[in-house]
Chains A and B, each alone.
Chain A
Amino acid sequence: MSGTDLDALPDGGKHADAERPGVTEESRWGKSATGASIKGANALSLHVPEPVGRPGDEPNFSHVALSAAGEVSRPAVDAYAGDIKAHATSLVRVLSDDHEAVGEWAGATSLALCVQGLRAMMKVRAYDERMLIAQRQGKTSFYIQCTGEEAISCGQRLALERGDMCFPTYRQQGLLLAQDYPLLDMICQVFSNSRDKLRGRQLPVMYSAKDYGFFSISGNLGTQFVQAVGWAMASAIDGNNRIASGWIGEGSTAESDFHSALVFASVYRPPVILNVVNNQWAISSFQGVAGGASATFAERAHGYGIASLRVDGNDFLAVHAASKWAERRARSNLGPTLIEWVTYRAAGHSTSDDPGKYRPKGDAEAWPLGDPIDRLKNYLIKQDRWSEAQHEQTWTALQEEVRAATREAETYGTLNEGPKPSALEMFEGVYEEMPEHLLRQRQKLGV
């Protein structure tokens, strides 16, 4: 507020108390209500965080605290949360710049699993690329890519077991593809066609796959983080050994549901991995708008006495090793772990977004943690388990697989052409049994 006297305002600033006799603006507020008469050193001002770079600026990631690969220790799985606080500000990394796996977190991941992970990440990328094209061609209304973040969902899924339940956001397609979930089913959902398992009801990418430990995605941010805690509590109540994995973007950690999740996880210590994917941006808002400029997201766990790690999310080996650590902890009844995955959202937020409007050009390329697929590929090549030629071949084969699945999906229709789910599907499933009033409405529509 720039030193304007209330008297100068159009209504003299009277609205709020206009109807209260005896209360004048002067007596109630004095002259400093809007900073009017306090000037200079004593005047308050609002702190509004700003990112280091905007369009036109050079990419700059000097604010992202990094550790060297291998630098951060691997605590015992039963470590006391209070003893590993430093792990919330350091960065667990395994893959070094010269493509070696180094340090205490290395060795948790076999080469065979790395190859599996690489294929899964490549499949995710091939799928994203094809669906982006399909959206541009009008075959669907909307799509969300996870470019640059593939290691996180693929690496964690490969650390979990069948029967565990993930509560993903819209950016964890890797949780499905790392398990060879049928591409055709995913594409039919994206196309909202006659073979869509969700019957055309849901927005594209909001998959649901109970058999694959993949909870139905909600479009409402943060709501499912606390549900993951509840599911894990249920597993503990039931005396089972299944664990839950909750997912949230760093922007959405601002939601109250994030804090609800942490307090319940703190109180009941259920078997849950609390994943915070810090891809630096929430649509146009940089991570500082979610409080990331004041403390790391991993540090938030400390107030609740929850163990936490801050991990390189573009390093498949670090992702897998840290996930395995948290998974062991959870399954051994040692309680929840929060993991902040440090990564970068290389693509737009969604097909409705143009990141060129709010962040520096070349940011994704300048991201200091590189590309997760390239890094794992280079590691495997160095280990003699992979080659450029194999990589090329695999990529071409995966692209063809996705293209073939897309073609097949099209025979069942796309959003704007061909067979569609019936209008009846809209009335079905609101309740288990269709009540009288919905029957009437259905008849009115004539379906």
Chain B
Amino acid sequence: MTMIEAIRDAIDTMMARDQRVVVFGEDVGYFGGVFRCTDGLQEKYGASRVFDTPINESGIIGVAVGMASYGLRPIAEIQFADYVYPGYDQIVSEAARLRHRSAGDFTAPMVVRMPCGGGIFGGQTHSQSPEALFTHVAGLKTVMPSNPYDAKGLLIAAIEDPDPVIFFEPKRLYNGPFDGYHDRPLTAWKQHPKGAVPEDYYSIELGKAELVSEGDDVTIIAYGTLVHVALAALEGTNISADVIDLRTLVPLDLAAIEASVQKTGRCVIAHEATYTNGYGAELAALVQETCFYHLEAPIERVTGWDTPYPHAQEWDYFPGPARLEKAICRVLEGTALAEGAAAQANGGANQ
């Protein structure tokens, strides 16, 4: 399955199992969403469970809070993460705090899904990765899958979760495992092991990372698209690295990070979002707190720049494999590995 199909399948699976699940958003009903993640669901479950909404993100999220407090399980789609801001108040001041402020009298078990990230020449309004604006908020869970298998399992877990979950879908991964080499031919999910998605119900516990590559030299912590970029950066080098796909940012699998960094003593953190106060800053602080005495080199962060996401300069902005490889070399500085890898990195054309 593609990631789009996996997401649709997760929603479909849950709508069939649980009458309380409803899904809505701009162009979500008849048309099935601009990325087609809800295609066919209105026909299958009817317009009172799958419907188009007015273009009003604060309304979309506000009604989701109301429905969730009633006892439904709303899944709200925001067409692009870049358009969530009008709904931010409803998420931060309402959904996130409802349980706490009412001492459990009311809760908001709901999922807000949104495509995020760049790589499609979407310019500043179809490319953002605002996850840190949500990980900063108490009461929210934040998820970002990197492949179809995880997307389905995590989305099902999110729908079943008793608390509000912000579910980011890296849109550049919708149709294939994009590794940052934008000038190479696309690969399809059906050629990737994680594109094999069972049609049955399964869920992946929120808060559990996955070690997607195992090694001793360095730990790379990533999520979403950057998981694939990290693997691509290691390709052809003799560096053996732990690559951790966080999958869930809050709750965070700190144990997995700790175990890895204490083993390797070196850590590179990668995300597409801007650098300053990005989620990488939190990760770096936690690594410092938990692994300080094991660290052999300063922690490196490879991220988008602190600028709006540009249109023409998309690939100068995107933290591709070459940038990641350079950072890996910096944390390996002084080791024999670094020399070989540096030569390799200088040969790479991709910034």
Residues A157-174 near B (CB distance < 8 A): none
> Once the chains are docked, how many angstroms separate the CA of A19 from the CA of B105?
10
Q: CB of A10 within 8 A of chain B? A: yes
Inter-chain contacts of A218 with B (CB < 8 A): 125
Residues A215-274 near B (CB distance < 8 A): 218-222, 251-252, 254-257
Q: Is B124 within 8 A of A203, CB to CB?
A: yes
Inter-chain contacts of A291 with B (CB < 8 A): 54
Q: CB of B66 within 8 A of chain A? A: no
Given known contacts A16-B107, A203-B123, A219-B82, is B305 in contact with A426 (CB within 8 Å)?
yes
> Once the chains are docked, how many angstroms separate the CA of A16 from the CA of B57?
24
> Once the chains are docked, how many angstroms separate the CA of A20 from the CA of B52?
34
B62 to chain A, nearest CB (A): 10
Inter-chain contacts of B71 with A (CB < 8 A): 13, 16, 29, 33-34
B350 to chain A, nearest CB (A): 12
Q: CB of A285 within 8 A of chain B? A: yes
Chain A residue with Cβ nearest B33 = A284
Contact partner of A437 among B30, B53, B276, B317, CB < 8 A?
B276
Q: Is B311 within 8 A of A19, CB to CB?
A: no
Given known contacts A16-B107, A219-B123, A284-B31, is B59 in contact with A200 (CB within 8 Å)?
no
> Once the chains are docked, how many angstroms separate the CA of A254 from the CA of B59?
9
> Once the chains are docked, how many angstroms separate the CA of A322 from the CA of B57?
32
- A interface footprint on B119-150 (CB within 8 Å = 1, 0 otherwise): 01111111000000000000000000000000
Chain B, interface residues (CB within 8 Å), range:
35 or more
Q: Is B27 within 8 A of A426, CB to CB?
A: no
Chain B residue with Cβ nearest A358 = B31
Q: Is A445 within 8 A of B18, CB to CB?
A: no
Q: CB of B56 within 8 A of chain A? A: yes
Q: Is A252 within 8 A of B316, CB to CB?
A: no
Given known contacts A283-B31, A285-B27, is B313 in contact with A426 (CB within 8 Å)?
yes
> Once the chains are docked, how many angstroms separate the CA of A201 from the CA of B69?
42
Given known contacts A200-B311, A202-B123, A219-B125, is B86 in contact with A256 (CB within 8 Å)?
yes
Inter-chain contacts of B58 with A (CB < 8 A): 256
Given known contacts A10-B18, A16-B162, is B82 in contact with A200 (CB within 8 Å)?
no
Q: CB of B19 within 8 A of chain A? A: yes
> Once the chains are docked, how many angstroms separate the CA of A224 from the CA of B47?
32
Q: CB of B308 within 8 A of chain A? A: yes
B23 to chain A, nearest CB (A): 13
Most buried by A among B122, B123, B162: B123
> Once the chains are docked, how many angstroms separate the CA of A18 from the CA of B71?
12
Size of interface on A: residues with Cβ below 8 Å to B: 68
A193 to chain B, nearest CB (A): 8
- B interface footprint on A275-304 (CB within 8 Å = 1, 0 otherwise): 000000011110001110000000000000
Chain B residue with Cβ nearest A447 = B316
> Once the chains are docked, how many angstroms separate the CA of A424 from the CA of B103?
51
The stretch of A46-54, A59-67, A308-316 that contacts the partner chain: A46-54
Q: Is B52 within 8 A of A423, CB to CB?
A: no
B6 to chain A, nearest CB (A): 21
Chain A residue with Cβ nearest B47 = A48
Inter-chain contacts of A427 with B (CB < 8 A): 305, 307
Q: Is A4 within 8 A of B19, CB to CB?
A: yes
> Once the chains are docked, how many angstroms separate the CA of A222 from the CA of B26?
15
Q: Is B54 within 8 A of A289, CB to CB?
A: yes
> Once the chains are docked, how many angstroms separate the CA of A68 from the CA of B126?
43
Q: Is B316 within 8 A of A46, CB to CB?
A: no
> Once the chains are docked, how many angstroms separate the CA of A252 from the CA of B56?
8
- A interface footprint on B250-283 (CB within 8 Å = 1, 0 otherwise): 0000000000000000000000000110000000
Q: CB of A420 within 8 A of chain B? A: yes
B215 to chain A, nearest CB (A): 25
A226 to chain B, nearest CB (A): 12
Q: Is A426 within 8 A of B121, CB to CB?
A: no
- Majority DSSP secondary structure for residues of A touching B: loop
Q: CB of A425 within 8 A of chain B? A: yes
Q: Is A289 within 8 A of B53, CB to CB?
A: yes
Q: CB of A146 within 8 A of chain B? A: no
- A interface footprint on B303-316 (CB within 8 Å = 1, 0 otherwise): 00111101111001
Given known contacts A10-B18, A15-B109, A251-B55, is B306 in contact with A441 (CB within 8 Å)?
yes
Q: Is B104 within 8 A of A19, CB to CB?
A: yes
Residues B70-126 near A (CB distance < 8 A): 70-72, 82-83, 85-86, 104-105, 107, 109, 120-126
Q: Is B53 within 8 A of A426, CB to CB?
A: no
Q: CB of B344 within 8 A of chain A? A: no
Q: CB of B29 within 8 A of chain A? A: yes
Chain A residue with Cβ nearest B201 = A10
Q: Is A425 within 8 A of B310, CB to CB?
A: yes
Q: CB of A204 within 8 A of chain B? A: yes
A204 to chain B, nearest CB (A): 7
Q: Is B56 within 8 A of A255, CB to CB?
A: yes
Contact partner of A45 among B20, B48, B85, CB < 8 A?
B48
Residues on B close to A: CB < 8 A?
17-20, 26-27, 29-31, 34, 47-49, 51-59, 68-72, 82-83, 85-86, 104-105, 107, 109, 120-126, 160, 162, 275-276, 305-308, 310-313, 316-317, 351
Using A16-B68, A48-B47, A441-B306 as known contacts, list a sample of 8 further A-B pairs with CB atoms less than 8 Å apart, ordered by residue number in A.
Answer: A15-B160, A16-B107, A34-B20, A202-B124, A251-B55, A252-B55, A254-B55, A425-B313
| A-B contact list, 25 entries, CB within 8 Å | A10-B18, A15-B109, A16-B109, A33-B71, A48-B29, A48-B51, A48-B52, A50-B30, A201-B123, A203-B126, A206-B123, A219-B126, A220-B85, A221-B83, A222-B55, A251-B54, A255-B86, A256-B56, A282-B55, A284-B52, A285-B31, A291-B54, A430-B306, A437-B306, A441-B306
